[in-house]
Homo-oligomer: A and B are copies of this chain.
């Protein structure tokens, strides 16, 4: 931590900052410049109540030296995290494709879609049983019934399943049915939920919040990792900006940044990142070229009958073509889609 004092900070103010820092266990390194005094605090930034120093008289600002996340960082673990979901390795040379409808709408719909995405080349089936909806009057998902249908679809097709969990109390229930727990963008900073999925030890896909800094996203991963649950995937799904032509702005840079800062696998969600099916294919291919370790894509057999997100859902035949196209791009960057 570096403390930059104000130009007019007094000797007494500087001494007070030094005394406080020493009392907190930091070693001090003082540098008196022409225009500013800089006080270096040597020790672990992460333990400090930053505001307690920053609020002292004469202090202009504090500059943290270390990143706030630890277990999630590349410094902590230089090698990529890899783990298996069934036979599928996540985080290795091969990309994983997760696909399926936004919402589970019926037993037949999810099973029909499961077969379609499997034939098209998907490795994991996605589907929502508990749905976060902006309106209290909108369809809120089938709940446990939806989980049962997904489990049936897994039994029939052999595809592992991923579904969202929105509430700490429901983590055990959802973990009983699902192979991967998804934390949605709106719940990225729902800390009680992060603690609960951390404790569950189930694999987790953590979506980036729509106005979340990359570092905040990694701090949320840290919440899960702090429980010793290391099977965590990050998912970039677009951020909110001033541009409204697309539903979100796909932060393609975040893929390379997250992979540099962290050892965790990064999955791209081109469906939410664009919000319209016409733009899903270019965004998906761009994700592969940018180094994503996998994709999660919304597919619905009849998008114009979907009970949610039909506008961004691909038809199975479009999705099948996209898998073929992504495979070519993957090979062009020395990766593979099995």
Residue from the list B194, B251, B256, B313 in contact with A282, Cβ < 8 A = B256
CB distance from A169 to the nearest CB of B (A): 5
Residue A31 interfacial (CB < 8 Å): yes
Asked if B65 and A136 make an inter-chain contact with CB atoms under 8 angstroms apart, the answer reads: no
Given contacts A137-B46, A211-B242, A260-B278, contact A252 B254 (CB under 8 A): no
CB within 8 Å of B: which A299-338 residues: 303-311, 313, 325, 328-329, 331-333
A175 at interface (Cβ–Cβ under 8 A)? no
A9 CB within 8 Å of chain B: no
CB of A250 closer than 8 Å to a CB of B: yes
Given the complex, which residues of B lie within 8 Å of A288, measured CB to CB?
Answer: 289
Q: A331 CB to closest chain B CB, in angstroms? A: 7
Highest count of chain B CB atoms <10 Å: which of A33, A246, A256, A307:
A33
With A34-B43, A242-B242 as known contacts, state yes or no: A285 contacts B278, CB within 8 Å: no
Interface string of A28-72 (1 = CB under 8 A from B): 010101111010101110110101111110000001011010000
- Indicate if the CB atoms of A308 and B135 lie closer than 8 Å: no
List residues of chain B with CB within 8 A of the CB of A308. 49, 51
CA distance A4 to B69 in the complex (A): 17
**Whole-angstrom CA separation of A216 from B185 in the bound complex:** 15
Q: A77 within 8 Å of B by Cβ?
A: no
Given A226-B136, A244-B244: A285 in contact with B40 (beta carbons within 8 A):
no
Contact B36 A31 (CB under 8 A): no
Question: A65-B4, A243-B251 given as contacts; is B137 within 8 A of A166 (CB)?
Answer: no
Bound complex: CA of A134 vs CA of B212, how far in Å?
Answer: 11
Interface residue A173 (Cβ < 8 Å from any Cβ of B) = no
Is A249's beta carbon under 8 Å from chain B? yes
Q: Are the CB atoms of B38 and A2 closer together than 8 Å? A: yes
Other A-B pairs, 13, CB within 8 Å; known A2-B2, A53-B304: A2-B38, A46-B135, A51-B311, A52-B310, A140-B191, A186-B189, A211-B211, A239-B243, A244-B244, A250-B252, A252-B286, A253-B279, A325-B333
Could you list 15 examples of A-B contacts with CB < 8 Å? A54-B310, A55-B304, A137-B226, A166-B191, A168-B169, A213-B243, A213-B244, A241-B251, A250-B252, A250-B253, A252-B283, A282-B291, A286-B289, A286-B290, A332-B332
Which size bracket describes the interface of A in this complex?
Answer: 35 or more
Residues B285 and A36 in contact, CB atoms below 8 Å apart: no
The 4 closest A-B pairs by CB, nearest first: A211-B211, A51-B310, A289-B289, A286-B286
Query: CB-CB contacts of A250-289 with B at 8 A, as 1s and 0s?
Result: 1111111100100000000000011001110011011111
Cβ of A187 within 8 Å of any chain B Cβ, yes or no, is yes
| Docked-complex contact A65 and B36, CB < 8 angstroms | yes
Q: Which chain B residues border A35 with CB–CB below 8 Å?
A: 44, 65-66
Q: Which residues of B contact A242 (CB under 8 A)?
A: 211, 213, 239-242
Query: Which chain B residue lies CB-closest to A133?
Result: B191
Q: B249–A2 contact, CB under 8 A? A: no
Tell me which of B53, B253, B287 contacts A246 (CB under 8 A). B253
Is A132 in contact with chain B by the CB < 8 A criterion?
A: yes
A293 is an interface residue with CB less than 8 A from chain B: no
Query: Does A109 reach chain B (CB closer than 8 Å)?
Result: no
